[in-house]
Structure 1
Amino acid sequence: MRRPVVALLSAVALAATAACSAATDDAGSSDGSPTPSEPTRTTSPTTPAPSASPSTTPSVSPAPSVPTAESRVSLPTLMARSYDGRRLQRTGVLVRTDDYTRYAVRYRSDDLWISGILNVPTGRGPYPVVVMAHGYIDPAIYVRGQGLMREQDWLARRGFAVLHTDYRGHAASDDTGPLDRELRLGYTVDVINAVHAVRRSSMRRLDGARVSLLGRSMGGGVVLNALVTQPGLVDAAVVFASVSSDAVDNFERWTRPERPESVSRIERRFGLPEQNPTFWRQISSRTYVDRITEPVLLHHGTSDDSCPYRWSVRTTRALTNAGVDARLRTYEGEEHAFGPQWPQSMRRTLRFLRSSSEPQA
């Protein structure tokens, strides 16, 4: 799907980008905040790189058949296209620590340059890679690598390389217009291409055969979209405090009550949920969860007043009913940004990622 097709999706962008509609979705938890102090860990510090030589081609199961797209604006359209993520380049050193180096990077996603950051642990490697998808932050104030800085630091100190994509229209990424840059399906393309760029990279300390995804809030929805679009893309996925896997939930929570001009635009082009339910089913990852082949770990707090906890309950139920290896970790009293129980969630994440990214014999 090249730019003209992606542009058709722009009217739906407001339903997606309003998701978790605070001005900065990740504010207060991970937007440039110092890394919080860590209690005594039960996990070991930086993991030595495995001695096995990496393979550039992962072992994947045969992909399920692609459903018929009723609209060019749909997840089936993304499923049917090819992806050419490539040319992952370091463009500068941002920070050096004893445990890792933080680089400014860019990569190609279709005909766009997408910016981001790459944390690479100190040592020879190669290290398993986590591609991160951040939550909604107004592109006008977003800066490179914003939104998941705690998680970037935490995993890099424990032996994971971390590629955080800024998405199109953010930071130093190429722009595709004021609406298209906010499109969650466009972000899905950028995340999938980030994985392919890692796999095609010649950086010797990155293990392109061991790649996982991590997303929070809107980024959680992006990760779920990526999983249904390209089964077998990664080893595993972690989702924090996600938006709903049903696009109608997100539309009803934010767009209909807050964005009347967007409602009118969506109604004219695609129809509202009650007018064109097929369109809304085809932009909802929940419709296609039976395509997912990777294990999925979900984290959600019961006091999340932005993305309700019940959304992750319903998503997890849909995943498990479809035979996906999925588990929801519940955090009583935790809010959207995660505070006191964040270290526990990351210890669980670390165990999950390590078990899912064991080197192949």
Structure 2
Amino acid sequence: MSRARTTGVGAVLLALSALAACSDDGAQPAGAEAPSASTAPSVVPTASPDAPDGPALPEVTDERSLAAVMREELPASRIRTVAVESRTDAYTRSRVTYRAGDLTISGVLLRPRGEGPFPGVVLNHGYIDPDVYRPGQGLAREQDRLARAGFVVLHTDYRGHAGSDEPVDDFDRESRLGYTRDTIAAVLALEQEPYVDADRMAMLGRSMGGGVTLNALVVRPGLVEAAIIYASVSSLLHENVEHFTRRSRPNQADRIYAEYGTPDEAPEFWAGLSARSHFDRVSDPLLIHHGRVDDTCPYRWATATQRALVDAGADSELLTYDGEGHTFYSRWSESMDRTIAFLRRHLGISPRS
């Protein structure tokens, strides 16, 4: 395994974010449907939530953009328990819901035994067809491992999945802007619970969820104290569209470009959906895991994202795994040891005896 630690500061790279995504199980993801030209964001942009001394907000060039989401207010909701699914020697697992703007989002919550307060972590799963997705699906190994390590875990189902409300419009979901709202709202909701330490929050995303996590980091700097992404999608949108949508659904790719223009024809629009366009806003320490033989989300995507983070001055570390593919079968336990050590270090948690 090799390491690359960020130290440089440079100009923000103009790039594109992930629209298509890869599955937790390495299955082929669905592409984006072409939305109607009359669709609008699900939340009306309001006053900026950034602190006065925080990073400057970028100009909004299109209402469907990360810059627009940065100006939205997402009031914190409480978590509602729907049903207790199981109890283990280490934690209780429950079906829950919380609010993301006007939508109700479902998920699963794992609460360690004891009174707490415990550090919290929100999990963002990779692409799974919403028609077959089951509550809490996609990161079962991570849920159990993190809960046993003493973290309260909230795995969000995203809008349009399991018991969550459907998105207000297709583009809200297909651009991943909606999923970004859902995961930010998940952190805010988890912070409201008395058994959670609101000053020790983290986020972990896999595959498509890695792209969602990067979006959240640029939309809300300081939202969490640390973040981790595994086998993430490319931070260039056109690479994801060409790699996933163009190969399996070429007509859909044609409709997307016909609706919004190609990256060459409409660079501002595509850049506006890209976390990489705003990597100068990443203020939270980030750990990236990627296998060198990942044939779903190629390794070169991780190195390109890491270089962009380095140039933007972000605190990011890339861990690479020889012989490891998209699913991290053989070295997953090792990677989770490193993930938990990273979280404890940046959340100020002493190792358990």
Aligned counterparts of 1:252 and 1:321: Cα–Cα separation in 2? 25
Secondary structure at 1:283 match in 2: coil
What is the aligned partner in structure 1 of residue 236 from structure 2?
Answer: 246
| Structure 1 segment 82-231 matched on structure 2, within 5 A | 82-176=73-167, 179-180=170-171, 181-199=173-191, 201=192, 203-231=193-221
Aligned counterparts of 1:255 and 1:340: Cα–Cα separation in 2? 29
Q: Can you list the C-alpha shifts for 1:8-63, whole angstroms capped at 9, x where unaligned?
A: xxxxxxx72x422xxxx11279xxxxxxxxxxxxxxxxxxxxxxxxxxxxxx8932
Aligned counterparts of 1:139 and 1:296: Cα–Cα separation in 2? 28
What is the aligned partner in structure 2 of residue 19 from structure 1?
Answer: 21
What is the aligned partner in structure 1 of residue 288 from structure 2?
Answer: 298
**1:177 Cα deviation after fit:** 6.2
Change (3 A) 1:346 1:75: same
Number of residue-to-residue matches in the alignment: 309
Secondary structure at 2:130 match in 1: coil
Does the 8 A contact of 1:212 with 1:236 survive in 2? yes
Does the 8 A contact of 1:169 with 1:182 survive in 2? no
Aligned counterparts of 2:246 and 2:57: Cα–Cα separation in 1? 31
1:70 matches 2:69: no
Amino acid aligned to 2:185: N
Does the 8 A contact of 2:26 with 2:296 survive in 1? no
Q: Can you list the C-alpha shifts for 1:141-170, whole angstroms capped at 9, x where unaligned?
A: 100000000000001001111000000000
Amino acid aligned to 1:165: T
Secondary structure at 1:298 match in 2: strand
Which of 254, 267, 272 is residue 277 of structure 1 equivalent to?
267
Amino acid aligned to 1:27: D
Aligned counterparts of 1:176 and 1:339: Cα–Cα separation in 2? 33
**1:176 Cα deviation after fit:** 2.2
Change (3 A) 1:266 1:28: closer
**1:319 Cα deviation after fit:** 0.9
Secondary structure at 2:79 match in 1: strand
Q: 87-96 vs 159-168, which deviates more?
A: 87-96
Aligned counterparts of 1:163 and 1:96: Cα–Cα separation in 2? 16
Structure 1: gaps spanning 5 or more residues: 1-14, 30-59
Q: Can you list the C-alpha shifts for 1:185-235, whole angstroms capped at 9, x where unaligned?
A: 110010011111122x2x321112211000000000000000011111110
Q: 126-135 vs 207-216, which deviates more?
A: 207-216
**1:321 Cα deviation after fit:** 1.7
Change (3 A) 1:225 1:28: closer
Q: CA RMSD in A?
A: 1.9
Aligned counterparts of 1:62 and 1:319: Cα–Cα separation in 2? 21
1:260 matches 2:250: yes
Amino acid aligned to 1:19: A
**TM score, norm. by length of structure 2:** 0.84
**1:268 Cα deviation after fit:** 3.2
Amino acid aligned to 1:214: L
Amino acid aligned to 2:21: A
What is the aligned partner in structure 2 of residue 12 from structure 1?
Answer: none
Does the 8 A contact of 1:96 with 1:102 survive in 2? yes
Which of 309, 329, 348 is residue 358 of structure 1 equivalent to?
348
**1:332 Cα deviation after fit:** 0.3
1:347 matches 2:345: no
**TM score, norm. by length of structure 1:** 0.82
Does the 8 A contact of 1:118 with 1:164 survive in 2? yes
**Percent of aligned positions that are identical:** 51
Secondary structure at 1:317 match in 2: helix
Aligned counterparts of 1:350 and 1:300: Cα–Cα separation in 2? 16
Q: Can you list the C-alpha shifts for 1:253-290, whole angstroms capped at 9, x where unaligned?
A: 12233323322332233111121111111111111101
Aligned counterparts of 2:331 and 2:286: Cα–Cα separation in 1? 20
What is the aligned partner in structure 1 of residue 277 from structure 2?
Answer: 287
Change (3 A) 1:28 1:287: closer
